[in-house]
Chain A
Amino acid sequence: MKFKSQRVAYWFFATCMLLLTLQIVYGIIMGFARIGMDGLHPVIPFNVARAVHTNLLVMWLLAGFMGAAYYIVPDECDRELEWPKLAYVQLIALVVTGVTAIIGFHFNWWEGRKFLEIPRPLDFLVVVDVLLFITNIGITIWKSKRITTTVSVLFFGLLMAALLYLPGMIPFDNQTVDSFFRWWVVHLWVEGVWELIMGGILAFLLIQITGVDREVVEKWLYVIVGFTFLSGILGTGHHYYYIGTPRYWLWIGGLFGALEPLAFLGMAIYGIAMYRRGGRNHPNQMALLWTLTTCILSFVGAGFLGAAHTLPQVNMYTHGTLVTGMHGHLAFWGAYACLVLAIITYAMPQVTGRKRNEDASASYAFWASNIGMLAMTVAFGIAGVAQVYLERRAGMEFLDVQRELEVHFIGLLLAAMVFGSGIAAFIYNFIRYGLPVAEPTGPADPTRRSSDEADGVVVPEPAAGG
């Protein structure tokens, strides 16, 4: 940690841990409901559990991205955050808004559109909150003498994510138009601008951990985000096959959707290539492991499993089945959850001055959560394919098919226990790190390459007071 204000990241990461825990609890409630154990139905019906599960995911990932930005921007821009106190205000506001929404769900208060369930009045609070965040890091970058590609890509991604929230707030009377613009938010976030945020954070981690020359890392960063947008923007069309929009989306969405894995494949090759090229032993091997896992599992989950049902001929049968759940779980885990856990694993020793990344609990957290999530993906996949054949191909009644699928959800719950134990170990480790230190601990890594030093990285004098 070079700058005192980077400490604010800790509180964002702590929020991530709390929200992730709740997300898993609601996921397990849904898993049990699916095997017929729905005793909580009068209090937490499935639609509440489902909305809490997905909205908490979005919230903790956004909190993670914000924490990552607050950590990375001062480091890259070589100056303190403009208004560290505003960051705390903004975090509290985010949590209050989110918790209000989650409690509101339990009282049947909704906007009620898939993934955009947060009631409209609260949408405005989200926008104000994100604007505060964008302004804070924007001014910090603006006033800096050094604007790197990494930080530009990160900032552009965060800014676009904020702007793309707006089309989702417009009400429409026509369900088709409503759905059309809903995907502007959902798809263009996760298969568009969030990948910029991901690219920015990954570039930072790879530069720091592998020690590969910044010019090389950032050049390939452009190529990857270039592929992301080239495929991802028109790839939105793979959500427009069967919702009442013109037929040409079948081939546009099919073609560009099929290209989407290229960006993720690029990301995987990029991470591995930089790691091999770096050949340096960074003390935080755990952060390296999470970073490479992000690169690889984002390709498997978001790229490969997405491509598996992106073609319109296949999607005709898999659309609206558990096959989507299979893809969704590994995509979000691989691309975004692992990414946030990677930056947390990287930042924690620096923010707290303790080296718990070598602890056995950190290792267990990594293996159990990844193996658990892969097993969950397999369970969803089998259930999804079985559903496609029984319901869509053979025409069995929906509920009869669901009874046939219960056994796969027992498997899913077992896998979720392994996954949950991994996350519990991660959180245990996070808590044991303790609170952030009051003063900067110096540059992230004293063995940093000279090319970076030449960019003008200076260790500041420790500021007085707390």
Chain B
Amino acid sequence: MLSKSAARLFFLVGTFATTVAFVALTVDTLRQVPEQTNEAQLSPAVIRGKELWESNNCMGCHTLFGEGAYYAPDLTQVYERRGPAFIRQMLTDPEGLYPGQRRMVTYAFTQEEQDDMIAFLEWCSHVDLNGFPPPPTVGVATAPAGAGAVAVPQVYQQICSACHAVGGVGGQVGPALDGVASRRDADYLRRWLEDPLAINPKSRMPKMPLTPEQLEEVLAYLSTLKAGEPAP
């Protein structure tokens, strides 16, 4: 039968051995992390962005690298998914961008601070996370399909699809855009995108930060969304 001194020996030896292994692995990890995380890209702006991230406890709602509070979206890939214009708009007026939705604090960031935060999120999006977050696997398209000859413009995927769905893919904050080209003519859509509130002062859609070229791209895509022609 096991004696008390044998039990104590098991405790001491086991603890010592695993501690040594853990410290050795830590040393090796610290050796490999600079390459895996592109530490060379860690600019002063990125570091200032990280300080902003912490001094406002962003992790108290969002997650980053899957770590956080699960109340707001994971921001690991947000730079790729939504792009800098969207992030800037969100930091400027979160409730304007997601009217009537779960609320985010409006932080009074300066232009430079917004740049720093965007730089930090861009750096995060390039860290090699061993495959996280995983791509969806269950038979749903991950991006709205292009209809006909017009491919879905990147700006549509980054900004518009956050709130609007086509063919069931995209957000449900605003109305789905299936068949929108049959309901509205091109001129209306153009005026709407230029300033939604000029057409409907009660609209909850804000004026989006689109360049003239992006506006044309989005219009060209929307004009293909005709009723009775579901996106392939």
Residues in A lying within 8 Å of B, measured CB to CB = 30, 33-34, 36, 38, 41, 45-48, 50-51, 105, 108, 110-114, 117, 149, 173-180, 215, 218-220, 222-223, 225-227, 229-230, 233-234, 236-237, 240-250, 252, 256, 316-317, 319-322, 324-325, 387, 389, 392-400, 402-403
Contact = CB atoms under 8 A, between A and B. Distances in A.
B70 interface: yes
A233 B22 contact: yes
B10 A226 contact: yes
A398 B140 contact: no
A220 B132 CA distance: 40
B57 to A, nearest CB: 4
B136 A393 contact: yes
Interface in B15-50: 15, 18-19, 21-22, 25-26, 28-30, 32-34, 36-37, 39, 42, 47, 50
A198 B101 CA distance: 43
B176 to A, nearest CB: 12
Interface residues of B, number: 73
Given A222-B11, A230-B15, A114 B59 contact: yes
Nearest to B68: A114
Contacts of B171: 397, 399-400
20 contacts: A38-B102, A45-B61, A50-B61, A112-B56, A112-B60, A149-B8, A175-B65, A179-B67, A220-B7, A226-B7, A233-B22, A243-B66, A244-B36, A244-B129, A245-B32, A246-B32, A320-B70, A393-B137, A395-B142, A400-B172
A242 B66 contact: yes
Nearest to B142: A395
Nearest to B69: A50
A372 to B, nearest CB: 21
A321 B70 contact: yes
A243 B57 contact: no
B131 interface: yes
A57 to B, nearest CB: 14
Given A113-B54, A176-B37, A242 B131 contact: yes
A247 B35 CA distance: 13
Nearest to A395: B136
Given A110-B55, A222-B10, 20 more contacts: A47-B58, A51-B57, A108-B56, A114-B67, A117-B57, A176-B36, A179-B67, A223-B10, A226-B10, A227-B14, A234-B22, A246-B28, A249-B25, A316-B132, A320-B74, A392-B136, A393-B137, A394-B136, A395-B135, A403-B172
A243 B58 contact: no
A302 to B, nearest CB: 19
Nearest to A312: B130
Nearest to B4: A219
Contact of B18 (A30, A233, A249, A392): A233
Contacts of B33: 174, 176-177, 180, 244-246
B98 interface: yes
A36 B22 CA distance: 44
Contacts of B149: none
A236 B36 CA distance: 20
A106 to B, nearest CB: 11
B59 A244 contact: no
B162 interface: yes
A150 to B, nearest CB: 12
Nearest to A117: B57
B80 to A, nearest CB: 15
B105 A45 contact: yes
A112 B54 contact: yes
A117 B50 CA distance: 14
A112 B62 CA distance: 12
Contacts of B29: 180, 240, 245-246, 249
A394 B138 contact: yes
Given A34-B71, A397-B172, A112 B10 contact: no
Contacts of B134: 316-317, 392
Given A110-B55, A392-B134, A397 B60 contact: no
Nearest to B98: A399
A317 B74 CA distance: 13
B139 to A, nearest CB: 8
Contacts of A244: 33, 36-37, 65, 127-129
A110 B56 contact: yes
A398 B133 CA distance: 13
Nearest to B16: A229
A457 to B, nearest CB: 20
Contact of B67 (A236, A247, A320): A320
Nearest to A49: B60
Interface in B139-191: 140, 142, 162, 170-173
A207 to B, nearest CB: 14
Given A233-B19, A245-B29, A48 B60 contact: yes
Given A38-B103, A395-B140, A229 B11 contact: yes
B69 A246 contact: no
B7 A112 contact: no
B69 A389 contact: no
Contact of B102 (A105, A177, A220, A402): A402
B3 interface: yes
A155 to B, nearest CB: 15
Given A114-B68, A175-B124, A242 B56 contact: no
A322 to B, nearest CB: 6
Closest 4 pairs between A and B when the two form their complex, measured CB to CB: A47-B60, A395-B136, A320-B66, A242-B132
A459 to B, nearest CB: 27
A316 B127 CA distance: 16
A402 B39 CA distance: 34
B230 interface: no
A322 B21 CA distance: 32
A173 B44 CA distance: 10
Contacts of A176: 33, 36-37, 65, 127
B56 A229 contact: no
A223 B32 CA distance: 35
Nearest to A110: B57
A117 B69 CA distance: 13
A185 to B, nearest CB: 14
B192 interface: no
